[in-house]
A and B are shown apart, each in its own frame.
Chain A
Amino acid sequence: MDAIILQFLNGLDKGSAYALIALGLTLIFGTLGVVNFAHGALFMIGSFCAVTLSKLFTLSFETLDPTRKDFLGNPLKIKTPYVEQWFGPDTGAVLIDWAVPLAILFAIPIMIAVGFIMERGLIKHFYKRPHADQILVTFGLAIVLQELVKHYYGANPIQTPAPEVFRGSFDFGTLLGFDPNVIIYPYWRLVYFAFAAVIIGGVFAFLQFTTFGMVVRAGMADRETVGLLGINIDKRFTIMFGLAAAVAGLAGVMYAPINSPNYHMGMDFLVLSFVVVVVGGMGSLPGAVAAGFLLGILESFASMNEIKGLIPGIDQIIIYVVAIVILLTRPRGLMGRRGVMEE
């Protein structure tokens, strides 16, 4: 029982990431009718926003302390981050410690800008082209983005820790009456889950309760009719793309402490997120979210030793197996609507 609860919890954070990426993918699918293979790269860029901010905060200058010597007898070099100099040592230290959550503020304008540039500069020209062309051009873009990141940040994962207060683990088991240390769960993962829930809720509320969201939902249901109403749907779609980019980026920012950012994380997540979208049902936002969590949790369960003992390697392929079974039995996915992305 405790193992099951633990795996369930472990699945939540990965599921959250899948759900957030899949949500953005679905928004873009549904509104713009574009298959965006570069969406994983947006997630990756988000993660690297966190890396960048924490690097910026720790940018230091060196001073020599003549009173102290290092082991070679030279004056000791002391590195002081600029932020500590500017804001005082205490505030500076807090800023450095809280780099990842602060990166949210840093990432939002960057991601929206990246989204706008992508849509206006590239995707826009592919609305009327075949899906194969859209896949290919965004695939090329994904390679370009990931290679640029590799060029400037290197190929190795970069550790980006969460703030000090969240570094411990929460003993979940004691809450439920289990022995201490049976179900422990890192605080940051709880934060991530809560954060994802807020973002998902925010996106749904935005679509549900604003006029803008209403038009977008109508556009997802029937693009042509909405176009006929004389509503400037293109402008809204650009904004939608920026929003989807921001969602993916924020998912990436907050994921940085869980998974040290590396240049190929985008594609790793993209392939899985696509599978999530397909399982949830192309064009269905609730489907994307539900399938994200479902697959995250299933993946987590499949990595239990008891299950791996029964079916070796199942943890590596469970998501694909589920996807294949779903696609073959329910071609439209769990909550897919008729006529979306069908031929």
Chain B
Amino acid sequence: MLGLDKKDMTTLLVVAALVLLAPFILNPFPANSAMAQFNAGYPDLMQRFVIFGIFAIGFNILFGLTGYLSFGHAAFLGVGSYSAVWMFKLLSMNVIPAILLSVIVAGLFALVIGFISLRRTGIYFSILTLAFAQMSFNLAYSVLTPITNGETGLQLTLEDPRILGQTATESGGIPVTNLFGIEMRGSETLYFGDWSFQFSAGYYLCAIIMLISFYISVRIFRSPFGLMLRAIKSNKTRMNYTGLNTKPYALAAFVISGMYAGLAGGLLASMDPLAGAERMQWTASGEVVLMTILGGAGTLIGPVLGAGFIKYFENIFSKINESVLHSWFSFLPESVENGAVWVAEHFVGGGWSLTLGLLFMLVVTFLPGGLVEGGQRIIKLFRRRKADDGAEQRAAKSHPAE
């Protein structure tokens, strides 16, 4: 079906089910219970899950498949966001033209940067992309202020023309982003006993676009082009001596992943119409690298898992503060409790970045294949144990007790 084999189709269906049912899956705890802080089923956060999922899926095409480590992909995300906001300012609040423009502009931007950066490989490539991203970041803060609005960030105003839409609503406010009239921030809440589930129009738009992006990435993985990209990662020398020009392949991968990043940026702006230069910073580029690696670079589902994992824990960890920690560790004797809180404090709240950095090191050191590899190892272990148990039972049967 859809040109996929059975295994890939199953993967796609699982991802689709997870994404479409996310409002239920992510809200397993009743709204007023103590565990409600672990709920993640609200639109704002769910949107970030799938949007960063798109970003990571695209990044995986370049890094996981082709083996080029770009440290500047956040630049494309930023460019996408700026393009989308400009579309909202000039044309209309409909998200379709905004998203299209963000993909196109990011693609063109990636074409230029990729063309230059891909003249070199390996670490030189990483540094070149990092340099380009830092350059874009610096420019966005300084000379390009007329386009980017510098440190304040680009926002909608009541003076924007919006030639196909309205400059201001009848009540005098700034209009909201919509898809042919469906407001992106609009949401319905379903109450079910103590549980409440929110269904947001914006989330479902992002979710559907994410599923399409995922589907396209599966097709790319299974195509001759995808095979060539894997071959480039495996052995560039053999590629060259097999009559294949690696550069256009790598450039195509670079541009495609840049367009994915632009799409993610455009969607971010469509959900919340503002764009700032901090989206282009190297930390943002580092984050997408981590998402991809954490999930499993080069695997289909890895980047999606990685993005969800990081965004979920970012949210949870940021919410935890000292008093929450004290309540958790209250079962301990007081001095131990204080010690435990003191240690844990480093990692929560504002310390999320520290956790992220540590996670980065741990994953790269101990689990280079990411969560997917970790899962496979666990399954293997489980199977082996089962097999061992079986063998023991058989052994026990064949040697009855004397």
Q: Give Cα A70–Cα B27 distance, bound, in whole angstroms.
A: 58
Given contacts A278-B127, A313-B142, 12 further A-B contacts (CB under 8 A): A132-B69, A136-B364, A140-B360, A140-B364, A147-B357, A150-B350, A274-B130, A275-B127, A313-B138, A324-B132, A327-B128, A341-B123
B134 at the interface (CB under 8 A from A): yes
B307 at the interface (CB under 8 A from A): no
B289 at the interface (CB under 8 A from A): yes
The stretch that binds A, out of B93-101, B113-121, B156-164, B167-175, is B113-121
Asked if A144 contacts B123 (CB within 8 A), the reply is no
Which of B116, B119, B120, B135 has the largest number of chain A CB atoms within 10 A? B135
Task: Report which of A274, A328, A343 forms a contact with B122, defined as CB distance below 8 A.
Answer: A343
A223 at the interface (CB under 8 A from B): no
Task: Report which of A35, A147, A150, A275 forms a contact with B123, defined as CB distance below 8 A.
Answer: A35
Residues of B within 8 A of A267 (CB): 282
Q: Give Cα A277–Cα B132 distance, bound, in whole angstroms.
A: 16
Within 8 A of A (CB), among B99-155: 116, 119-124, 126-128, 130-132, 134-135, 138-139, 141-144
Q: Mark B256-296, 1 if CB is under 8 A from A, else 0.
A: 00000000000000000000000000110010011001000
Q: Mark B346-367, 1 if CB is under 8 A from A, else 0.
A: 1000110110111111001100
Within 8 A of B (CB), among A276-309: 278, 282
Q: How many residues of A contact B (CB 8 A)?
A: 39
A214 at the interface (CB under 8 A from B): no
Asked if A139 contacts B128 (CB within 8 A), the reply is no
Q: Give Cα A267–Cα B141 distance, bound, in whole angstroms.
A: 17
A137 at the interface (CB under 8 A from B): yes
A59 at the interface (CB under 8 A from B): no
**Which residues of B are in contact with A by a Cβ distance under 8 Å?**
67, 69, 71, 116, 119-124, 126-128, 130-132, 134-135, 138-139, 141-144, 236, 282-283, 286, 289-290, 293, 346, 350-351, 353-354, 356-361, 364-365, 368
When C-beta atoms are compared, the residue in chain B nearest to A125 turns out to be: B365
| Contact of A317 with B289 at beta-carbon distance under 8 Å, contacts A135-B126, A136-B364, A143-B356 already known | no
**Which residues of A are in contact with B by a Cβ distance under 8 Å?**
35, 122, 125, 131-133, 135-137, 139-144, 147-148, 150-151, 267, 271, 274-275, 278, 282, 312-313, 316-317, 320-321, 323-324, 327-328, 331, 341-343
The 4 closest A-B pairs by CB, nearest first: A143-B357, A313-B143, A140-B360, A147-B354
Asked if A271 contacts B361 (CB within 8 A), the reply is no
Asked if B361 contacts A122 (CB within 8 A), the reply is yes
Asked if B282 contacts A343 (CB within 8 A), the reply is no
Asked if A151 contacts B119 (CB within 8 A), the reply is no
Residues of A within 8 A of B127 (CB): 274-275, 278
Asked if B122 contacts A327 (CB within 8 A), the reply is no
Q: Give Cα A38–Cα B183 distance, bound, in whole angstroms.
A: 45
Asked if B139 contacts A275 (CB within 8 A), the reply is no
Residues of A within 8 A of B123 (CB): 35, 131, 135, 282, 341
Q: B79 to nearest A CB, angstroms? A: 16
Asked if B365 contacts A137 (CB within 8 A), the reply is yes
Q: Give Cα A320–Cα B132 distance, bound, in whole angstroms.
A: 7
Asked if A327 contacts B119 (CB within 8 A), the reply is yes
Residues of A within 8 A of B142 (CB): 313, 316
Residues of A within 8 A of B139 (CB): 313, 316-317
Asked if B364 contacts A331 (CB within 8 A), the reply is no
Asked if B130 contacts A144 (CB within 8 A), the reply is no
Q: Give Cα A143–Cα B361 distance, bound, in whole angstroms.
A: 10
Asked if A140 contacts B358 (CB within 8 A), the reply is yes
Which of B71, B131, B134, B135 has the largest number of chain A CB atoms within 10 A? B131
Asked if A320 contacts B354 (CB within 8 A), the reply is no
Q: B101 to nearest A CB, angstroms? A: 24
Which of A142, A148, A267, A317 has the largest number of chain B CB atoms within 10 A? A317
Q: B118 to nearest A CB, angstroms? A: 11
Q: B103 to nearest A CB, angstroms? A: 25
